[in-house]
Amino acid sequence: MSYTKHFYVERALQNFSLTEGTIANLIISFAAFAAKKNKLASSVTVTEALLGNGIPAAIKEFIKNEGAKWKNSSLSTFEKVSAEDIKSYIIDTIETENNKFGHKDFVLTIPSSLNDLCANILDIKKDDSVIDLGAGFASFLIHVAKNYPCKNLVGIEISRKTWLYGNMLSYLESVAPEIKLGDVLTLDETKKYDKILAFPELASNMTISFVEKILKLLSDNGRAVVFLTQGFLVNEGLGFKEERKNLIEGGFVESVIELPSGVLQPYTSINTVLLVLSKGNDKSRIVDASDFYENTRRGTSTLTVESAKSIYKMLTEESKKSRVIKNEAIKEKDYNLASRTYFLEEKIILSGVEQYEKLSDLVETKIMRGAQIKASELEELGSDEDTGIYYAFAKDIKDNRLVSGLKPLKKLEAKLEAITLKNNDILLVMAMTETLKAACVDKLEGRKIIPASNIYIIRLNKEKILPLYFKMLLETSQATQLFNAFGGGGPLRAISVDFLNKLQIPLPPLELQKELVQRYQKIEDESEILRQRLAALAREKGEVLASLF
Q: What is the CATH number for 474? A: 3.90.220.20
Give the three-state DSSP class for 377: helix
Domain boundary among 100, 133, 162: 100
Q: Same structural domain for residues 268 and 121? A: yes
pLDDT value at position 1?
36
Q: Indicate the pairing of strand 401-402 with strand 368-369.
A: unpaired
Instruction: Write the Ramachandran bin of 540: left for phi over 0, alpha for psi from -120 to 50, otherwise beta.
Output: alpha
Q: Same structural domain for residues 447 and 417? A: yes
- Name residues whose C-beta falls within 8 Å of residue 336's C-beta, 6 or more positions apart in sequence: 233, 234, 244, 330
pLDDT value at position 325?
96
Query: What phi, psi does 151 have (nearest 5°)?
Result: -65, -40
pLDDT value at position 269?
66
- Name residues whose C-beta falls within 8 Å of residue 243's C-beta, 6 or more positions apart in sequence: 208, 211, 212, 232
| For helices 160-172 and 139-147, angle between their N-to-C axes, nearest 10 degrees | 30
Q: Same structural domain for residues 78 and 150? A: no
Q: Same structural domain for residues 448 and 412? A: yes
Q: Is residue 105 part of a domain?
A: no
Q: Same structural domain for residues 255 and 334? A: yes
Give the three-state DSSP class for 386: coil
- Name residues whose C-beta falls within 8 Å of residue 456's C-beta, 6 or more positions apart in sequence: 367, 368, 369, 370, 427, 428, 429, 430, 495, 497, 500
Give dist(CA 57, CA 179) in Å, integer. 10
- Name residues whose C-beta falls within 8 Å of residue 180's C-beta, 6 or more positions apart in sequence: 154, 155, 156, 157, 163
Instruction: Write the Ramachandran bin of 6: left for phi over 0, alpha for psi from -120 to 50, otherwise beta.
Output: alpha
Owning domain of residue 149: 112-343
Provide the b/e sequence for 13-23 (b: ≥16 CB within 10 Å): beebebeeeeb
| DSSP-assigned letter for residue 328 | H
Into how many domains does the chain fold? 4
Q: Is residue 189 part of a domain?
A: yes
Contact 258, 276 (CB under 8 A): no
Give dist(CA 285, CA 253) in Å, integer. 8
Q: Same structural domain for residues 293 and 366? A: no
CATH number at residue 212: 3.40.50.150
Q: Same structural domain for residues 129 and 150? A: yes
Provide the b/e sequence for 154-181 (b: ≥16 CB within 10 Å): bbbbbeeebbbbbbbbbbbbebbbebeb
Q: Same structural domain for residues 73 and 197? A: no
Q: Same structural domain for residues 67 and 83? A: yes
Q: Same structural domain for residues 321 and 230? A: yes
Give dist(CA 454, CA 549) in Å, integer. 45
Q: Same structural domain for residues 82 and 133? A: no
Q: What is the model's pTM?
A: 0.72
Q: Is residue 147 part of a domain?
A: yes
Q: Is residue 1 part of a domain?
A: no
User: What is the number of helices (H) and of strands (E) in the chain?
Assistant: 19, 24
Domain boundary among 343, 377, 411: 343
Give the three-state DSSP class for 354: coil
Q: Is residue 454 part of a domain?
A: yes
pLDDT along the chain (549 residues), means of 10: 75 79 87 94 92 89 89 93 95 86 64 92 96 95 94 95 95 95 95 95 84 97 94 86 96 95 70 94 94 60 83 92 95 90 86 92 94 86 90 90 89 87 94 85 91 94 95 91 72 80 94 94 90 92 89
Domain boundary among 47, 65, 100: 100
Give dist(CA 442, CA 403) in Å, integer. 11
Of 191, 165, 189, the closest CA to residue 179 belongs to 165
Instruction: Let me know if 491 is exposed, middle or buried by CB neighbors in 10 A (0-12, 13-18, 19+).
Output: exposed
Q: Is residue 273 part of a domain?
A: yes
pLDDT value at position 104?
54
Q: Same structural domain for residues 299 and 405? A: no
- Compute the CA torsion angle 156, 157, 162, 163 (nearest 10 deg): 50
| For helices 112-122 and 305-314, angle between their N-to-C axes, nearest 10 degrees | 30
Q: Is residue 353 part of a domain?
A: no
Of 513, 396, 515, 528, the closest CA to residue 452 belongs to 396
Give the three-state DSSP class for 490: coil
Q: Is residue 352 part of a domain?
A: no
